[in-house]
Structure 1
Amino acid sequence: MTFKSEVRDSTINALLDKAGQRSYQQYLAKMTLKKLRGFSEEPISFDFPVTAIIGPNGGGKTTVLGAAGIIHRTIPPRAFFSKSGKYDSGMQDWSIEYEIVDRAVSPRNSLQRTASFKSLKWNRDALSRQALLFGVSRTVPASERRELLSCTSRKFSVPDARVSPFSAEINESVSRILGKDVSGFKEMKVHASGNVTLLTGQTSTGVGYSEFHFGAGESSIIRMVAAIEGASDNTLVLIEEIENGLHPVATIRLVEYLIWAAERKKIQVIFTTHSNEALRPLPSKAVWSATKDKLFQGKLDVASLRAITGQIETASVIFVEDDFAKTWMEAILRQSERAIIDHFQVHAMSGDGTAVAMNKYHNDNPSITVPSVCVIDGDSRQEDSEEKRVYRLPGEAPEAYVFDNCLNHWSVIGGKLSVALLQRFEDSEKVLELCQDVRRTNKDTHLLFSQIGEKLGLVPERTVAAAFTTLWAQVNTKEVQDIIMKVAQGAEASASASTG
C-alpha cells in the first residue's frame, strides 16, 4: 500500500508557505558553499523547516550539516571541521555565505553572513541562536559512556529530589515514536550540577530499570525529544544519521514529530540520513542530495544515489519522473527481443526537473563510466533532446493515457488484464464495468490505479499499475519499439561520448 503520513497536507503546505515567506524570528534561509571540501559555488535553500540531506558515504552530507551549524555561536567549527596540522592544508580559503532571518537584528530584511577559514583559523559573523547538535555518538550505550561509570556501583543512588518524571508532552511524543508506553520513565541528575544525567524506565508491571538496560535508539529518542521540548522557540536542530538505532517505523514517526515540533515551536531541523523511511513524511522541497561536488533538490529513492554517482553494476541507467513512470518504463523494456532490461536500471526521481538534472550531472561527470538517459512524461515542460539524451513517453497525463488505452483494447487484453488484477478471466466484463465507473468519477488521474485497487478488494496500487502497463506494452508494439530504440541509441551515444 502507498505510505500515508499522519501529518496533514494542510500542515505541510502551511509550513512551506511560512518558510517561503520567511515568517520566522530566526531562520537559516539559504547558504552557498563557495568553497568547502569538494563543493564549489553550490547553493542550498531551506524551503521547509525540516530538511533532509541524503547521499552516499563520502557524498558530503555531514559537510552540509556542519556548514549550516557553524554560523551559530553555539556550534563550534571544530565540531565538524577540525584542522589537523599540515595534514589539512586544503582547508585554506574555505568559505560559506549565508542568507539568514534574524528579526532582532534586522526586523525587515534578511542578513548576509560569511564563515571562512583563513590564516589557519575560522572567521565567522556568528549569530546568537540556540542550536542543538545530536551527533552519531548519541546512540553509544550507557555502559560505554565514561561519564556514567560511577553509576555502575552497587552503592549508587541519588536523592529523590534529583529524580524527575518527564512532562506529558515528552511522554506522548516518545511513546508514539517508540510504540511503547514511557509514562513511568524518569531522568535523574547524577551530580547536583545536572551536567550528567541517567534515565530510568519501568516495565508494564511496574518493574524499574536503568538506562544501562535501554536500547541505544530508545535512549537517544528520549534525550532528543526532551532537549527539543526544553529548547526555546526558533531553535536550530542538527541531527546526524537520524535513523541510527531505530526501527524503520520509529524513523518515520520521529520525522513526523519533528514536523509537528516545527509547527508548534517554530524550530528548524536539518538532518542527514541513508533511510528512505526518513524521507516519506517530507515534501519534495525538503530533500537535498549531496553527491561529493553537487547538491540536488528533490525527493528520490536513496538507492538511486548509487546510480547518480556511478556506484552500480549495470550497463546503463534510465532516470524517470516518478514511481509510475518507473513501472511503465520497466514494462516497456521487458518487451525487448534482446532482453534489454538486463542492461538497464530504471530510477525514479521526484519530478521531471530532478530527472533531467540528474541525467545531465551523470553524463557530465567524467568519473562515471556508466551512461544514462532520461525519459520524461508526455506532459512534462522539460525539453526532450537527442543531444541531451532526454526522451518523452507517449500521451499527456501518463496514468490516464495508459488506463484509457487499455480500456480501448479491452476486447484483446481484457481477460489477461483481469487475471493480472487478481480477478477471474471470465469476470473481465465486470472488471471493465468497474474500471469505466471509476474513470467517470475520477477527478485526479494520478489516483486511478489506487482507486481501482480499492474497488477490487484492496489490491495494491503497485500491482494494478504493473498490470495495466504490462498489457499496454504488449499491445502497443510500435510505441514500445520506438522508445526502446531511442533509449538504447541514447545510452550507446552517452557511452561513446564518455570514452571519446
Structure 2
Amino acid sequence: MSHDDQVRKLGKKFSSACHTNFGAALLSMRVRGFRGVPDLTLSFNSPITALSGLNGTGKSTIAQLAACAFRQPAGHSWSRYYVAHFFPVSVADPEPFTADAEVHYSYATEGTAAPQQLTVKRATKEWSGYKRQPQRANYYLGFTQFIPKVERRDLSVYGASTLVLGETRQLDTQAAGHVARILGLPYEQLGFADVSTTTKSSKLAMASRSGRTYSENHMGFGEGRVVYMVNTLETAPPKSLILLEEPETSLHGDAQVRLAQYLVDVALRRGHQIILTTHSAAILGQLSRESVVYLRRTATGDVTATHGLSTYQIDSHLQKEGRTPDGITICVEDAFAKCLASWIFRIADADLLSGCSFLTIGGGQEIPAAVKLLTDANRRAVGLSDGDMSHDGTGGVMTLPGSLPPEKEVFAHPAVKEYFANSPFSLDISEVLAGVANHHYYARALAARLMLEESAVASDACRAYAQAHDPGDFSSLIDFVRAHVGDRR
C-alpha cells in the first residue's frame, strides 16, 4: 500500500469508527489560562495531529496538557501525568497558570454516543476532574527520553571499569526494520542490554551493523532517539496516546520524511493516537490536511489555531528578510498556477506584478486559510485558486480564468497548441497528453519529449495563453487583486 493510500485509510478509520479503531481518543481541547495560552480551542481531526507554528505559540503547552487527559489503565505500573508535573509553581515561576485556569477535554465514546466531556480545573490548591477521565496508556516522549549517557554521567560511561553486561532483549525484526528505514542504516541487530555495576543498574541500546557492535554511547543523538522512539511505539499497548516533542531533531531531511511515513504506518497498524510538535516542513508534507494544526500568536497576545493548513512556509514568508510592507502576497496552489498568474499580470498590468510575491500553498483547499493567516498578520494578501475550485472573491480568494485546473485550460487552448505545433517544436501536444492521466504532470510530460526544463515549457505555454487574450479579458481578476490591496485606480 502506498503512503498516500495509508494516509487516506487512516483518516477514514478515524472518521468512521473512531472509538473502535483508536479507543477513547482525544477529539478536542479547550485550554484557558496556561502559560501564554489565554483561551484556545482546537480539534483533533486525525489519529495524528502535528502542532506547528513559530516558537512561543503554545505547542508544548498543548502537548503537555494533552498528556494529562487520561488515567493509567488498571493493572499497569507506569505513572500517569498530572498538570503539576508540567506546570510547577515555584519562586522562579509563581504563576504558570491563572487562578481560573482549566482544560476541557472531549473524548471519543463507543458507538454513536455523544463525546464524553470533562474539565480539569483548579480547586483551591489541587486540580479536580482526574477521577472521571478515561483510562488509556499514555507516553510523553520529550527530549529527555534520550539524553546521551555521556552527558548525564551515566554508570555505563563513568562506571565502565566495573560494568557488567547482562541480558540483551532484541527488537523484533519489524521494529528494527523501521529504525533502519528511517535512518537509512543497514542494521544487523538492534536491542537493549541490561548493564550494572556493584551498586547500580541501567539499560543500554545496542546495535550491530557492518560486522561491528556498539552501544548508544557511540550513537549520535538522532540515531539514539529514533531507536528509543520506535521501541516505545512498537511495545506500547495498542491504542495508546503518544506525545512527541519535535521528533525531527537531529535528523536530516530524508530521515524526517521517512519518520513521518512511519508514524502514519504505526498509527494505522496499532491504533495509536499521536500528537507531535514540529518545525519540520518535511514531516508536515507527509501528513493529511486533517493532521495539521497551525498555531499563531496575535498582536494582542492571544493564540489562534488554524486547522488543515499544511504550509509551515507561511511563517518563513512573513519573516523573510527584505520584504517590504507594501508588498502584495498572491497565494496560489502550485508552480504552474504561479506561472499562469504571473503571465496574466504581465499582459494585463505589469506594474501590479512588480509589487507582488507569490506563495505556493500546495492545495487549493488551504488557500483561504493561508490568506486569512497573512491578513491577520497585517499582510496584504489575496488567493487565486484553480478554476475548478469556484471561489467568487469571498474571503479574499478568487479563481483563475476558466472552470478547469489551469493546466487543462492552458494546454487545451488553440493558441498554445499552435505554438508548440510550429517550429522549432513541431509537437502535437494533444497526442502527448492523451496518455497523461494527471494534469499536474502535463508540463513534465511535454518537457521530457522536448528535452527541456519543465519550468520552461510551463512558461512558454502560459505566455502563449495570456498573449492570445485581450488584456480586458482579465479585468475582473486584476480588479479583484487591486481592490483587496487597496489599489482602486
Task: Report if TM-score (shorter chain) is over 0.5.
Answer: yes
- For the pair 1:316 / 2:321, whether they are aligned, the reply is no
Residue equivalent to 1:384: 393
Give the Cα–Cα distance (whole angstroms) in 2 for the partners of residues 122 and 173 of structure 1.
40
Which has the higher mean CA deviation after the structures are superposed, 289-298 or 468-477? Answer: 468-477
Written as runs of structure 1 = structure 2, the 5 A alignment for 1:449-464 is 449-453=443-447, 464=457
**Which residue type is aligned with residue 449 of structure 1?**
A
- For the pair 1:30 / 2:39, whether they are aligned, the reply is no
Give the Cα–Cα distance (whole angstroms) in 2 for the partners of residues 116 and 108 of structure 1.
25
Residue equivalent to 2:6: 11
- For the pair 1:304 / 2:314, whether they are aligned, the reply is yes
Give the Cα–Cα distance (whole angstroms) in 2 for the partners of residues 280 and 361 of structure 1.
19
**Which residue type is aligned with residue 190 of structure 1?**
V
Closer/same/farther in 2, CA of residues 108 and 372 from structure 1, 3 Å limit: closer
Residue equivalent to 1:240: 245
Could you tell me how far 1:412 is from its partner in structure 2? 4.7
What's the CA shift string for 1:153-196, capped at 9, x where partnerless?
Answer: 441432432x2322212211111111112223331223499983
User: C-alpha root-mean-square deviation of aligned residues, in Å?
Assistant: 3.4
Give the Cα–Cα distance (whole angstroms) in 2 for the partners of residues 322 and 118 of structure 1.
52
**Which residue type is aligned with residue 390 of structure 1?**
V
Identity fraction in percent:
25
Closer/same/farther in 2, CA of residues 443 and 269 from structure 1, 3 Å limit: same
Closer/same/farther in 2, CA of residues 151 and 318 from structure 1, 3 Å limit: same
Give the Cα–Cα distance (whole angstroms) in 2 for the partners of residues 455 and 273 of structure 1.
40
Give the Cα–Cα distance (whole angstroms) in 1 for the partners of residues 204 and 431 of structure 2.
61
Closer/same/farther in 2, CA of residues 7 and 58 from structure 1, 3 Å limit: farther
What's the CA shift string for 1:363-409, capped at 9, x where partnerless?
Answer: 3x3xx343222223333244414xx543331111122112222x434
Could you tell me how far 1:143 is from its partner in structure 2? 1.7
SS at match of 1:160: strand
Q: What is the aligned residue count?
A: 464
Closer/same/farther in 2, CA of residues 83 and 154 from structure 1, 3 Å limit: closer
Which has the higher mean CA deviation after the structures are superposed, 300-309 or 396-405? Answer: 300-309
SS at match of 2:103: strand
Could you tell me how far 1:460 is from its partner in structure 2? 6.7
Residue equivalent to 2:484: 490
Written as runs of structure 1 = structure 2, the 5 A alignment for 1:294-443 is 294-307=304-317, 313-314=323-324, 315-333=327-345, 340-341=352-353, 343-349=355-361, 351-363=363-375, 365=376, 368-385=377-394, 388-398=395-405, 399-405=407-413, 407-412=414-419, 426=424, 428-430=425-427, 433=428, 435-443=429-437
Which has the higher mean CA deviation after the structures are superposed, 165-174 or 82-91? Answer: 82-91
- 2:46 pairs with one of 45, 48, 64: 48
Could you tell me how far 1:53 is from its partner in structure 2? 1.6
- 1:59 pairs with one of 57, 60, 64: 57
SS at match of 1:188: strand
Could you tell me how far 1:207 is from its partner in structure 2? 2.7
Give the Cα–Cα distance (whole angstroms) in 1 for the partners of residues 209 and 365 of structure 2.
51
Residue equivalent to 2:217: 212
Closer/same/farther in 2, CA of residues 247 and 155 from structure 1, 3 Å limit: same
What's the CA shift string for 1:25-61, capped at 9, x where partnerless?
Answer: 2322222335555556644332221221211122222
Closer/same/farther in 2, CA of residues 12 and 122 from structure 1, 3 Å limit: same
Listed as ranges, the gaps of 5+ residues in structure 2 are 72-79, 298-302
Which has the higher mean CA deviation after the structures are superposed, 443-452 or 370-379? Answer: 443-452
Could you tell me how far 1:231 is from its partner in structure 2? 0.5
Could you tell me how far 1:473 is from its partner in structure 2? 3.8
Listed as ranges, the gaps of 5+ residues in structure 1 are 1-5, 416-424, 495-500
Give the Cα–Cα distance (whole angstroms) in 1 for the partners of residues 201 and 235 of structure 2.
15
Could you tell me how far 1:270 is from its partner in structure 2? 1.2
**Which residue type is aligned with residue 56 of structure 1?**
L
What's the CA shift string for 1:316-343, capped at 9, x where partnerless?
Answer: 3222344543343344455677565453
**Which residue type is aligned with residue 469 of structure 1?**
C
Closer/same/farther in 2, CA of residues 217 and 330 from structure 1, 3 Å limit: farther
Give the Cα–Cα distance (whole angstroms) in 1 for the partners of residues 256 and 483 of structure 2.
42
What's the CA shift string for 1:65-117, capped at 9, x where partnerless?
Answer: 223222124233245434445642653323332221255xx895531122334
Give the Cα–Cα distance (whole angstroms) in 2 for the partners of residues 312 and 356 of structure 1.
25
Give the Cα–Cα distance (whole angstroms) in 2 for the partners of residues 117 and 309 of structure 1.
38
Residue equivalent to 2:180: 175
- 1:468 pairs with one of 461, 465, 481: 461
- For the pair 1:202 / 2:199, whether they are aligned, the reply is no
Contact 1:189 1:198 in 2 (8 A): yes
